[in-house]
Amino acid sequence: MNKKILHSEIQKHIDTFTDLVSVEFHSTWGRHKDTFPEAHMEHKNVMRTPLYWYSPSSRSYIGLWQFSNAHFSTGKAVQEMTLATLIDDVAVELAYRVFNSANEGPHVGVTVNLNIRRDGESAQARTFYFAADAATVSGRKVVVECSLFDALSGTKIMTARALLVFVPIASKAILSDKPQPISIDAGSQLPALDGPAARHLSTEELENLSQVMNFLPHGLIAHTNGRVDVQTGRLVVLLSFGKKIRGPPAHVHGGVLATVLNNASALLFSAVTGNTLRSVVALQRNVSYRKGMPIDSQNVLIDAVIESTSKDQIIIVAQLLRDTQLCTTLRTTFLLPKIRSSKL
């Protein structure tokens, strides 16, 4: 690591390790030219190849993500869900490395829960330092805790905790990259929101929901129809996933699933309060994964509702359903500023 660019406290943390070994990005699950986020972040020069180091004695990963200024306008921060997606990647990488070192036979690891808390902001940050530890390894369960910093200023940006469960498989063929059937129609229907305050989502709103991350091309995801009701605090929308957002094996990357739920929650929050996420003091996101989402799934439903409100916070729960099966849930806590909209 280049000591000249790192904050002194970060360098001090790095110096506590005595057995760091350089490891390759996606080294535990294989590199694929079309794996998300690698294909769109590294290969298109949005970020340099991530630098990862592993400490066997402490079961820790540390490393740097360096984003290109060319993809972000001056003063525009790297999106939180971009960072959360990379944290998810790091947690999986570390969990696989730790679990495989203690177990024989092929296993597949599944992220069951990802909890992320915003600790601070650094809009100018382009170089990030992460430190991840395998906090708990019990049977087939691995808990990874990760902290993320602006590498230059030392500002702590996020804290995350991921729970992964490993399941033995009969054959490694299950982990192959065999293509999924094309155009999997989930068969979901848009629920009727017919209250006096209900309205259809505009074309612009649907396009904004479809922008997974601010540096990615359009067309990876398409939101086709949606409605929002500010009186009941509910938003429903149908969307379709493309093929180029997969994580291994051939399913939509978990970070993408969390991002589309985050986008829907943010839109519902803004519609009801009249405020943007910039007005929020802090965010707590809790993602629960139930079932995988095959790539190229069509007519998938997002159903987001306001679970509770108070003078200090709003909690929104967003669910991703394929047909009638619940795949992913995001529970977001928005801590509000003192001045609030009269709509609540």
Alpha-carbon distance of 122 to 150, in angstroms, equals: 7
Check residue 173 and give its pLDDT. Answer: 38
pLDDT at 178 over 60: no
Give the Å distances, CA to CA, from 129 to 52, 69, 287, 290. Answer: 10, 17, 23, 30
Q: In the structure, what pLDDT confidence band is assigned to residue 169 with cuts at 50, 70 and 90?
A: confident
Check residue 213 and give its pLDDT. Answer: 78
Q: In the structure, what pLDDT confidence band is assigned to residue 343 with cuts at 50, 70 and 90?
A: very low
160 forms beta bridges with 116, 146
Torsion angle (degrees, nearest 10) of CA 219, 40, 166, 175: 80
State the DSSP code for 14.
Answer: H
pLDDT at 203 over 70: yes
Where is 338: in which H helix or E strand?
Answer: none
pLDDT at 4 over 60: no
Check residue 27 and give its pLDDT. Answer: 60
pLDDT at 146 over 90: yes
154 or 30, which is more confident: 154
Mean predicted confidence (pLDDT) in 234-241 = 94
Mean predicted confidence (pLDDT) in 240-254 = 81
H helix and E strand count, the chain: 5, 18
Question: Quick check: bond before 249 cis, omega within 30?
Answer: yes
Residue 126 backbone class (left: φ over 0; alpha: ψ -120 to 50; beta: rest): alpha
Rank 142-146, 176-180, 208-212, 335-339 by mean pLDDT and report only the highest.
142-146
Q: Give CATH 3.10.129.10 domain extents, the chain.
A: 8-175, 184-335
Mean predicted confidence (pLDDT) in 246-264 = 86
Residues 6+ apart with CB under 8 A from 23: 52, 53, 54, 61, 93, 97
Q: In the structure, what pLDDT confidence band is assigned to residue 72 with cuts at 50, 70 and 90?
A: confident
pLDDT digit string (tens) for 219-235? Answer: 788 888 999 999 999 99
pLDDT at 181 over 50: no
Residues 6+ apart with CB under 8 A from 332: 262, 265, 283, 284, 285, 286, 315, 316, 317, 318
Query: If one looks up domain 184-335 in CATH, what number appears?
Result: 3.10.129.10
pTM above 0.85, yes or no: yes
* CB contact at 8 A, 269 and 314: yes
Alpha-carbon distance of 111 to 16, in angstroms, equals: 29
Check residue 108 and give its pLDDT. Answer: 82
Mean predicted confidence (pLDDT) in 187-210 = 86
Mean predicted confidence (pLDDT) in 208-227 = 81
Three-state DSSP class for 238?
Answer: strand
| Distance separating the N- and C-terminal Cα atoms of the chain | 49
Mean predicted confidence (pLDDT) in 203-211 = 88
pLDDT at 180 over 60: no
Check residue 248 and give its pLDDT. Answer: 62
Q: In the structure, what pLDDT confidence band is assigned to residue 15 with cuts at 50, 70 and 90?
A: very high
pLDDT digit string (tens) for 294-332? Answer: 988 999 999 999 999 998 899 999 999 998 899 999 999
Per the prediction, the chain carries an average pLDDT of 84
278 or 64, which is more confident: 64
Mean predicted confidence (pLDDT) in 180-197 = 68
If you compute the radius of gyration of the chain from its CA atoms, what whole number of angstroms results?
A: 20
Q: In the structure, what pLDDT confidence band is assigned to residue 175 with cuts at 50, 70 and 90?
A: very low
The CATH architecture one would assign to domain 8-175 is Roll (3.10)
